[in-house]
Amino acid sequence: MEKYQKMIYDRIRKTMRQWNEEEEIRENELYRFFHNIKGTAGTIGMQEVHDIAAVQLDSLEEGSESYWSREEWRRAMVPLLPYVDDPEQEETLMEEVGSVQEPSEDTPLLLIIDDDVEFVTYLKDLVEGSGYQALVAMNGEKGVELYYELNPRMLILDYNLPDTDGLKILQQIMDKAKQDFTPVVMLSGEAGTEAKIRSYELGASDFISKPINHRLFFPFIQNRLDTQERIWQSSLQDELTGAKNRKFLDGELEALNYKLGRGDGGGFTLILCDLDHFKKINDNFGHTAGDRALRHFVKTVMSFIRPGDTTARYGGEEFALVLPESSEENALQVIERIQQALKDHPVPDYPEVELRFSAGIRAVTESGTSAERLLEEADRAMYAAKHQGRDRAVLFHEGLSAVKETALLHVIIVDDDDVVREMMEQYMKRRQEIGGHPVRFHSYPDGRAFVEDDWYREGDYYFLLLDGMMPRMDGLEVLQHLRLHYSTDRILVSMLTARKGEKDIARALQLGADDYMAKPFRVREVFARMERLVKRVF
């Protein structure tokens, strides 16, 4: 069998090199290539190659005379790269589809909720190879958690899931999706007309049948994201809470700065507020309670500010107050009244929810400081308030510049391969920080050594790279231990696996892994993905 498998690999390499000389190829050539690969690979026991070819064939037409550009056919070839063993060829294809380029911080994040391991790994590769970021959830519960935590730009949702169905997920997240203008795309290989009708009635943006045609799928994604962006740009209000949004806030700070520079104003005060332990409200009482708490906070704030003041939603549970013609003392009085009102009047329908917040105050008496800098300085003061025990306000001064950096990020790799550990360590020596956090690197040769070590420090953040297969205690056992004994809001876990199609991926995602990466991998890509997740979550 090794002889015939080598012939398959040679055929893939030869075809890629031949097509690299062409600007474009016909679709029927692609069809014949994958058709031949599928038949031969299945015959000689190369099941994964057979499955990849089968998926690609579903989006190709045998008799089509249409032409595929170099970028399009190379994207179709990406899933075969692990079987080529041709570094030069791999580098050429990966550079063409852009997957080795580190996406910027604002690269759109797509969330895929689907329990078909082969399909989601295939789709995740295609999505990330087309310049987007992708995360995967294998069941509805994990999917809803990631949706609320990470606010993806688009949700791709399978109609049938192991723990629920797509319609129930739609009902749980649709209010937020509508408020954020998030496109929700339903996928199914079997759903009939009634299921599609019901999905549209509940608010799904689109319903796509499996198998997908990837040539149509990515222009479709970009179309929906462009529409979402236009809607965002046309709106200045946060629909969930009724507060103004970040765009309005930036404009207001610039306008007040301009008036101050002209001598047409007596200064203003910026207050940045962050609800304390907000994730625990969602975890303990549900996301409906969390949404209700956000609205209650804004309603309470608005009852204590003047008509010319601004309340804006700055982030998930962060809010900004802008008080023109107001001093630090006035700002402190406003905050105290709001804090007392929240203690006296609990969240409607959730009297057991204790809503508290930490605040940073930045008084502005001179023009010339940008809105971004003002927000950063108010943010430092707010973190100082959290550092001092929460439920309090702190005035900004220059000595607070390093307060936010007190929370370390610990990057921990648990892998029995000493070569992998050494590569990671050498790369980390060149990194002083990730996502704004100073970094400490740790490595362990197996799961038992990690679990038995005194590795956890309250208040720090952690990113774990866990090998799936290890002696003594494998990655899945470590993952179960983490989720059982530690708070999940400060620990991110990415599984390392040697085979994309193995069942361990599904199990890891079901146990709460935040991401997975397939071996072999580029160290630079590992840390690029790590940095994006750290920035989004921490």
Domain 407-537 = CATH 3.40.640.10: no
pLDDT of 407-434, one tens digit each? 789 999 999 888 888 888 888 877 888 8
Reply yes or no on whether 317 is catalytic. Answer: yes
pLDDT of 499-530, one tens digit each? 555 676 777 777 778 888 877 778 888 888 88
Strand 67-69 and strand 109-113: pairing?
Answer: unpaired
- Rounded to 5 degrees, what are φ and ψ at 357? -150, 155
Note the pLDDT of residue 99.
40
Distance CA 400, CA 121 (A): 45
Note the pLDDT of residue 175.
86
What type of residue sits at position 315?
G
Note the pLDDT of residue 102.
46
Check residues 61 and 345 and name the one with the higher pLDDT. 345
- Dihedral sign (CA 110, 114, 120, 126): negative
Cβ atoms of 137 and 505 closer than 8 Å: no
Written as six digits, the tokens of 40 are: 């031969």
Note the pLDDT of residue 151.
83
CATH number, domain 246-404: 3.30.70.270
Note the pLDDT of residue 361.
96
Note the pLDDT of residue 429.
78
> What pLDDT band is residue 88 in, cutting at 50, 70 and 90?
low
Residues of the chain with CATH 3.30.70.270: 246-404
Note the pLDDT of residue 448.
92
pLDDT, mean over the chain: 84
What type of residue sits at position 346?
P
Looking at domain 109-234, which CATH architecture does it have? 3-Layer(aba) Sandwich (3.40)
Buried b (16+ CB within 10 A) or exposed e, 163-187: eeebbebbebbeebbeebbbbbbbb
Q: What is the mean pLDDT of residues 267-278?
A: 93
- pTM for this predicted structure: 0.56
Position 206 pLDDT exceeds 90: yes
pLDDT of 435-454, one tens digit each? 778 889 999 999 999 999 98
For the chain, how many helices (H) and strands (E)? 20, 18
Note the pLDDT of residue 98.
42
User: Which of 40, 33, 48 shows the shortest CA–CA distance to 82?
Assistant: 48
Position 23 pLDDT exceeds 90: no
Residues of the chain with CATH 3.40.50.2300: 109-234, 407-537
pLDDT of 390-407, one tens digit each? 899 999 987 775 445 457
Note the pLDDT of residue 480.
87
Q: What percent of the chain has pLDDT over 70?
A: 92
pLDDT of 47-59, one tens digit each? 778 878 887 777 7
> What pLDDT band is residue 9 in, cutting at 50, 70 and 90?
confident
- DSSP characters for 124-180? HHHHHHTT-EEEEESSHHHHHHHHHHH--SEEEEESB-SSSBHHHHHHHHHHHHHHH
> What pLDDT band is residue 94 in, cutting at 50, 70 and 90?
very low
CA 154 to chain CA mean position, Å: 11
Catalytic residue among 128, 317, 377, 531: 317
Cβ atoms of 472 and 499 closer than 8 Å: no
pLDDT of 122-180, one tens digit each? 788 788 877 888 988 888 888 898 898 788 999 999 988 888 888 999 998 998 888 78
